[in-house]
Structure 1
């Protein structure tokens, strides 16, 4: 099996450890820089734009929105 096939296989089916690390990275990004956390979880869409505006106005509304979008509302992931 080639290196490329092993790498692509591991990306399409991440291990539980990789999944946990991605969730931890997303949580840290959400707390430190809310738009980055939303972008990691949801992509560069409407939620990201709304969160960026809220964070630029004041940090706390952006943080609340990011936690709501990423962990309360659920939905699909943009990466992994």
Structure 2
């Protein structure tokens, strides 16, 4: 998948961006919890996970 699309997903729907990039695993669960607590940490985590590779 194109990196630009993944970045846009991470900004607007962080758990979906992590799910598309990494699949259903611990990174997704961490991101889901962060996003539910407060949106901004979830977005930062999703961008970190997506741009790390």
TM-score by length of 2: 0.89
Structure 2: segments with no counterpart, 5+ residues: none
- Matches of 1:23 and 1:64, distance apart in 2: 16
Q: Relative contact order (alpha carbons < 8 A, sep ≥ 6): 1 or 2 greater?
A: 2
- Structure 1: any 5+ residue segments left out of the alignment? 1-18, 75-80
- Cα root mean square deviation, aligned: 1.1
1:28 aligns with 2:8: yes
Residues of 1 paired with 2:49 and 2:19: CA distance? 11
CA radius of gyration, larger in: 1
Secondary structure of the structure 2 residue equivalent to 1:44: coil
* 1:38 and 2:18 are equivalent in the alignment: yes
